[in-house]
Structures are given as structure tokens and as C-alpha cells.
Structure 1
Amino acid sequence: MMRHFFSHKTTLPGLGLAGIALMGLALLSGCDTLFGEPEENVLTKIEDAVWQATAPDIGVIVGVRANAEGRTNPAGPAQAKQKVPFAVRFTVNDEYQFIRWQAFQGGVLLAADQAVFENPAAAETWLSIQGTGNSFTVQPLTLARPRVDTTNLPQGGSLRVALNYPVRIYFAGPLAPDSLILEETGKPNFTNISITGKLSYGQGADVDLTDRFSAALGENDSFLVLTPLPDNPLPGNCNVTVTLGADIQSIHTIDGETYRIPLLKPVTLNYGVHDRAD
């Protein structure tokens, strides 16, 4: 019989094995209720309490794959018994998104009926391990959020680029194309990106420059190119601000499942153009 205990994690009040035995005698003597509960419920609790008192210890280590992902509680070796639930909690760092809990034995991923999580997609949940041994590992599965690694924009605010300078933005991994590029033709051909300018070296009026660029994703969908349109050039000596919206997503495939992870928050990039094209 597989014991998960998730329907009744509470224990019977103040009872050791002797108390459990006395309750069993009371039930055998013909009592229909005990502690105000139906006999069937109490019998189930007795059975579970006996198992929890006698279940074999198992060796479990709870932790993250990399410290940058966040922290677990417990962290490291945990006290656990076979088929007896224990609580696990994960606090994820901003740069990652929590997906679900996983459990392994000897490096092999355990099936759902061998590592029974009350809710594997919850950061705080209960786990009941069905097997025995000392080589269990419990880890949260996380995926890194999209992150801008670098750009081809000049460092510092004094150097300006040509009016037709293509902006290249390199990400840490592949992006979901439909979170950036629109299928239909038109101007602009992208979404979740805004481009604004400030005239006269940043001292003049604000202007919307979004429709003066086209966008394309480069190799492996891991970098974005924003190219000024030749038929609608940028105003000269303008300060340009590119804002990548938080709905831009990276895309990951794990065990045949696809996950889309958004930026944590908008990313803003600034540069200046002079009054000539190359």
C-alpha cells in the first residue's frame, strides 16, 4: 500500500505507540467514534501513525544546482523517512524562474509515483519519497530569465555613431521570436520594443523613433538587430533610447515541454547619433 499522507498530515494528539494500541482496543470493543471522529477515520490515522513511528530513515539532500538560482529550506542533508511527507521550500533569485521540484536517486530522475510532491509546481510543498536508501537528491528546476549580455553600442556618453548605425543586442540565450518580431509586414515590424529620441544632443524635444527602425533576430535567435530605415532617417545629433519590454521572452525545451520565460523588468539602452550616415 502506497502511503502519501497528504490528506492528513496532522497526528493524533499526544499519542505514542502505547496510546495507539489503547485506541485500537477501544475500537475493537465496539466504539463507533473516538476523539469525535468516525471509526474509519481513526483507523486510518492509527495505521498512518504506526507507519510514521516505524518507517525506515532515508538519506536525502535538498539543494540547488547553482547558488545563483536561490536557496532551499532545508539546505543540505534532511531528516526523512520512507513514505512520510516532509516540507521543502524554495526562494528563487530574480534572475531565474522556478518551474517545478524534481527528485533523483543516484542521479536518476524519479517518476511521479516514486517522489510524490503534493504540488510540484509550488515553491513550498510536501514531498513523500517511496523508496529506501541514502542517495536521494531533491532540487528545484529553474530556468534563467532572458538577459542582455552585451551590445555593439559605444561605452560612455560622448562617442556618437552614424545615423544608419545598426544596433546589435546580444542575449544570453535564444529568444521566442514571436515575442519580438511581427509576422505581418509594416512599420514597425516588431513589438515589445520602444525607441525614442531627444533632439539637439539631448537638450531638445522628445520624438518617437519606433517607426524609423526595422528589427531582425540573428543566428539561433540569440541576438537582436535594430536597423535604421534609409527612407525615414533619424534626426541628426539625437540621443536615442531603446527600451526592451518585460514581455520579451526566452524559450526553453525540457523533456519535450516548451517554457517561455519573460524578462524580469524592462531594459533600457542609450546612445547618440551624429548628423551623417556611413
Structure 2
Amino acid sequence: MDSNNPGYGYCENIGDGRGFTSGYVGFTSGTDDAYSLIKNYTTQMPDNALSAFIQPLATISSLSICDTAGRNNTAQLSGYCGAWQTEACHSDSAFRNLEIAFATDMYLIPSTRFAALVGITTNLGKAIFYDTIIQHGWRYVEPKINIWRIINLTGAMLANESEATYLTRFLTTRRQLQCCYPDNVWPFSADRSSDLMSLVNDWTANKDLANPVFLAKAAVTVTGNEDTNSDKTNCNGKSSTASLLTAGSARAIITAFVALTFGFLLML
């Protein structure tokens, strides 16, 4: 997938134990966020291709968070990815706009609160927490790796410790959890942490996200002027009209489901 493309219509099972991953921040069938999004969308647009999946998704969401096999099961979701693309690529931008709104409420806003909790103030630090919470979650539906666990293992920011030093410890902890995870998916995602670490290493240039950034592992330069209005890869350029689509991304890393971090953070 194009790393600077907002994947509104993207959907596949990437083998990470969370069922189908879809949309521009990777809403998953196994961790409740896709269910919440589709349920909300159906109240607005009852006659939609995804409404048939509300009951199977409700069943999955009712399972214990420790029932990883059950939450990963997609047997009752045949046709799900096609339905997701139908709605995400519709000429009406309602579903794409809702993806953005849900990502803001479920991930962006909580990530800034977690960042503030540990003393993070820079845009780069907030972007790192945003990327972390998107990938690992915060509501314990992903019990093996989540932002609570990473924060606890990292420990509090020390007296007189710089933000850059704390973020280095935070990303080191996150990368160790990714690398040591016993599957064939999470270890490969450690490149995300490596790319973010490279930005921290050049702290003065990157801390404000005021300049283009180069993500070596992803082989992407992010300028902040990317076109985030359309999913050209999955939707043939159908546009979204959401008002928050203003700038580019600090999170075009590997999966690149979201290309909005720069713009969002600069508005906070």
C-alpha cells in the first residue's frame, strides 16, 4: 500500500490476531472499534453494505479480551472487506468522514491525554503517542501490548530528564515488545518505532514537526502537504469532505492508514 495514501477503503487480515484490519487508522474486527464505527454509521445510513455484519461483530465484541482466538475469528465475516470498500469508496463521503471522526475521538484525543499525563509537550512526542495508541490501543482489548503497559514499563519521566531522553526510553520499550512478540507480524512492525526513534535522535530539527521528515525504514518523506482527501489506491480518488483534512502526516509508517497527524496536532 502507498505509504502516503489515506487508506479509507483498505481492508485485509494481516495475521496479527485482530481479525480484519480496515480503514485509514486500521479499525479491526477483533478489538471493538470497527464494530462501534459500523454501528454508528448504520444509525445514520441504515441501508448500507456493512449493516449485515453488526450482529457477528457484536458477538465478537462480547468475547473476553483473553479469547484471542475468538476475537481473531473471521468465519462469520465473509464479504466484509468488499462491504467496507463499498462504503468507504462511495460517492457520498459519509463513511470516510465518520472514519476520521472516530479516529479523532477514539485515538487522537486519548493519545494527547496520555502524552500530557507523562509530561510530553512537543508535537513529535504527541505524534509518537498517537502512533502508539493507534497500533497498540489503550482500552485493554489488546492485553499483550497496549499504551498503558508501555508507559508502565518505561517508568515515569525522571527529574531533570529531557523529553527526548524519555521518548527514547519509551520507544525502546515499545520496540522490544514488538520484536519479542511471538508471531510473524508484530516483529516486522518494529520498523515503525525505529523510524520514530530516528526523528527523536535529530531532536532540534524534528521536535516541532515544522519541517519535512524522512522515515528511512518506510522509505517515505512526509512534507505535511500530502493529499489526504482521497484514497487513490483503494477508491480511485473519491474524496472526503471532512473539515479536519488539512495537512499531511507524521505517521506514514509501514501501514500508513492515517495521513493527518501534522494537521491534527497543529490544531490542538
Q: Is TM-score (shorter-chain normalized) higher than 0.5?
A: no
Band the TM-score falls in, shorter-chain normalisation: under 0.3
TM-score of the superposed pair, with normalisation by structure 2: 0.20
More helix by share: 2
Structure of greater Rg: 1
**TM-score (normalizing by structure 1):** 0.19
